[in-house]
Amino acid sequence: MIVEGKQICFSYDLGGTSFALQNVDLSIAQGEFVTILGCNGSGKSTLVKQINALLPLQQGDLTVAQIDVRNEQDVWLLRRICGMVFQNPDNQFVSSVVAEDIAFGLENYEVPRREIPDRVQAALEL
């Protein structure tokens, strides 16, 4: 399985009395397409944020490509292979200029500064 989750629980309140996720089991095979549907507040975004380690896993087990999402040393590796598109584009873009937004991503992947302009231009020509 590319994503494997067992008994995932997450609560936004400190007392843990109200759960966004409670005892969620999830198995996604490599190459499989999955849609997560639900009402507002049902935990869809919370689950995806746990899969790419944007929110800490409070309870249960969760691996992506055999990477334990709790392993802080592998968070960057995990995020290189597991991305998400946010509901609100304002939360996703860092610049209103496309070239600057592309460059920001390259900088975060520690691409040498001298290579960034050429890579940005190549991406813009796609």
What does the pLDDT look like over 107-122, one tens digit per residue?
Answer: 877 899 999 999 999 9
Distance CA 11, CA 58 (A): 8
Burial (Cβ within 10 Å: 0-12, 13-18, ≥19) of residue 119:
middle
The three-class DSSP label of residue 114 is: helix
* Band (67; pLDDT cuts 50, 70, 90): very high
| pLDDT (tens digit per residue) in 40-53 | 889 999 999 999 89
Question: What pLDDT is stored for residue 46 in this prediction?
Answer: 93
Range of weakest confidence among 24-33, 79-88, 104-113: 79-88
What are the structural domains, with CATH classification, of the chain? 3-86 (3.40.50.300), 93-126 (no CATH)
Q: Whole-structure pTM over 0.75, yes or no?
A: no
Torsion of CA 53, 59, 63, 64, to 10 degrees: -30
Question: What pLDDT is stored for residue 17 in this prediction?
Answer: 78
8-state DSSP, 5 = E
Q: What is the mean pLDDT of residues 24-43?
A: 91
